[in-house]
A and B are shown apart, each in its own frame.
Chain A
């Protein structure tokens, strides 16, 4: 017969200080772990949703990022005529040649700068990247020295707010609009007219990347094979989703560091939990003896104390994930994208899966910490346990 679980829950409440400190320890370990994971998840999520399954990115063969790619105007002309691309109402293909520049701009309130991607685009870009939505002001006018900045960039960087002016290579560009891009990597960019920007930066004559939006999912392969088969083009065409999947690897480092910290700290907290459980067992040795004497089996005792440890762990896990959720979830942050050497902003993401993992992780620490004390309790000799004062 099993021992009513209430007995053990009451036990946890009796030694309030000890229980509380163990729960706090476990909670903090879980908070550290889940914060790192939420960071990695946020970064990975940004990259993941940034890739549009319908978009094909065309870059120079051998280049690994838009920054070190180049597509000539002749190549671009060929690309606009390829079959498979979606067409707008006027019958124009949804193909946009874009130039990707990196500028260094000071953050607000700092005299230290960070790199931002400045993307010169054509009017077609709004059809190819439908996630871009102007939320304040208006779109830039072609042929004008105007820019639109993402909401997060406009908040973080000097000169990037609505109505402010950015000096680029001695030319003044006015920020006329603020856009949002659904949390994608475009949310870390500034956009402007491709001709104006390539003129300002003396980069006329080629694009960094050409984006082709497929008419439907099956047309993606058609576009890719069309580019591969054309002798005049030595370009590579990859799906936008693939391009961003590769960048997601960056989150790997954060995950590695998070796991490293979590595993080591878990060992420390596990010993702490063991201490608490040992104290629990030794304080109740008489009670254990009594339970054994009135017929509860060793297994029942083991299960009861393991259960107590498990509850201790799970409590820590729940508190820990709640700390992370309330303190970190949705908090915006930024890091460098090693592919483009520029800022990518993203938000911490506490996902349901992460919550489950975190609670399970803490429960396991608790259970491992409780294993030896519970065994000790189960193995207690009835007579000895009862004789103890």
Chain B
């Protein structure tokens, strides 16, 4: 459309106002992006991703109740289960309880661990072997190792709180994961913890890989039926469901984020509408002239809405650029939030829908009054 140039020129007429508006919209849209990514992070991993091959068995009552080690053999026998490892939260304190020293520590069975995360976690073969062979050995993800400045061969001491023992670990390997949020763990031998605690034969949860996602319900119900009426009844869920449950324990976070998102949305609407109202008010005479020389009300409306959408789109591009740089490139996370905040195409699409929707509304209100304005009246008004 020929009028595009006109619309852009209009947008740039008051550069200062446009720039201020674009910055404020971009920042608000950036927050929208952030909120969407947090919610998406909480929604668990990609439902089509490799996580759907994995199930977690925990004590039915709560995560704090341990399961007997004897279940390991039992779960191994269940049809469709390919491999299963104990996966126990160790907790404990590394150095002190400050935020930078908070990271997840789990005890696992090293050999089965690699079978469960196959295709997602890579580690040099010699490091893998060194870890499997060293009972005091530990491995960690690249991103956590970098944060803690750990090198292979370093000793890491974790003072237990749930268990009254201190782990003296030696870092034997550093793995890389497809997603850096999977690189935040410190993993060590289940048997080492068992030895220190005096062979109690307890496991936090069991983590398993199944042959096909379609069998997840069957496997889950087989395991849970097997433990029914025992002292430790279990609840088996897919990894995604497990994470979702975990998040829901923190309270109605989604509700809170939704409310914040709504506030931010209204802020964006107010900012954009204010600017467009100012812009149209300034041009009252001009709009009247345009109408006098034959511009139809529809065109006038289109021009105003077009300008609003143009400003919205520029802001959107900046907001997404900011988000991409901060979350995807720099991998910034809020302290204490373990979920990644990467922007995905779905997030960007949603932000775009919000930006365009709000631009349309904020352009429509002043545009509509401009389109309906009487020519004589408009020409008489002195801006």
Contact = CB atoms under 8 A, between A and B. Distances in A.
Interface of A: 17-18, 21-22, 24-25, 28-29, 31-32, 35, 39, 60-65, 67-68, 102-104, 112, 114-115, 202, 249, 252-253, 256-257, 260-261, 264-265, 267-272, 274-276, 278-279, 333-336, 340-343, 389
Given A62-B159, A268-B28, A253 B336 contact: yes
Contacts of B277: 17-18, 21
B60 A17 contact: no
B264 interface: yes
Interface stretch (B144-152, B246-254, B297-305): B246-254
Shortest Cβ-Cβ A-B pairs, 8 listed: A271-B24, A268-B27, A253-B336, A335-B251, A64-B161, A21-B270, A21-B274, A336-B249
Given A102-B65, A272-B24, A275-B274, A336 B164 contact: no
A338 to B, nearest CB: 9
B277 to A, nearest CB: 6
Given A256-B335, A260-B334, A25 B270 contact: yes
A279 B14 CA distance: 11
B61 A265 contact: no
Interface stretch (B15-23, B40-48, B67-75, B104-112): B15-23
Contact of A28 (B16, B25, B267, B337): B267
Nearest to B28: A268
B350 interface: no
Given A31-B263, A278-B20, A68 B161 contact: yes
B336 A256 contact: yes
Contacts of A67: 64, 162
A32 B30 CA distance: 15
A24 B264 CA distance: 11
A247 B228 CA distance: 35
Which of A21, A63, A114 gathers most chain B CB within 10 Å? A21
Interface centre among B63, B163, B248, B278 (most CB of A within 10 A): B278
26 contacts: A18-B278, A21-B271, A24-B266, A24-B270, A25-B267, A28-B263, A35-B256, A64-B93, A68-B161, A104-B61, A115-B249, A261-B260, A265-B264, A268-B28, A268-B31, A268-B271, A271-B20, A271-B21, A271-B27, A272-B21, A275-B17, A275-B21, A275-B274, A336-B250, A340-B64, A389-B382
Contacts of B97: 249
Name, among A28, A39, A389, the residue most crowded by chain B CB atoms within 10 Å (CB to CB).
Answer: A28
Interface residues of B, number: 54
A22 B162 CA distance: 52
A64 B61 CA distance: 21
B259 interface: yes
A291 to B, nearest CB: 22
B161 A62 contact: yes
B159 A278 contact: no
A383 B274 CA distance: 30
B20 A60 contact: no
B76 to A, nearest CB: 26
Nearest to B252: A333
A63 B164 CA distance: 7
A366 B336 CA distance: 31
Contact of A32 (B23, B99, B260): B260
B358 to A, nearest CB: 13
A166 to B, nearest CB: 12
B178 interface: no
Contacts of A260: 334
Contacts of B275: 275
Of B162, B259, B260, B275, which is in contact with the most chain A CB atoms at under 10 Å from its CB?
B260
Nearest to B268: A268
Nearest to A114: B249
Which of A28, A102, A268 counts the most chain B CB atoms within 10 A? A268
Contact of A253 (B61, B93, B335): B335
A64 B23 CA distance: 47
Contacts of B61: 102-104
Given A272-B274, A276-B274, 6 more contacts: A67-B162, A264-B31, A268-B24, A271-B23, A272-B271, A279-B278
B245 interface: yes
B58 to A, nearest CB: 10
Nearest to B231: A202
B273 interface: yes
A60 B164 contact: yes
A47 to B, nearest CB: 15
B160 interface: yes
A202 B252 CA distance: 34
Contacts of B91: 68
A308 B382 CA distance: 26
Interface in B74-127: 91, 93, 97, 99
Contacts of B163: 68
- Most chain B C-beta atoms within 10 Å of own C-beta, residue among A22, A25, A103, A267: A25
Nearest to A260: B334
A270 B271 CA distance: 10
Given A62-B164, A260-B334, A28 B274 contact: no
Contacts of A252: 99, 336
Interface in B299-347: 334-337
A39 B30 CA distance: 23
Nearest to B269: A21
A271 B21 CA distance: 7
Interface string B2-20: 0000000000000011001
Given A60-B164, A68-B162, A341-B63, A25 B271 contact: yes
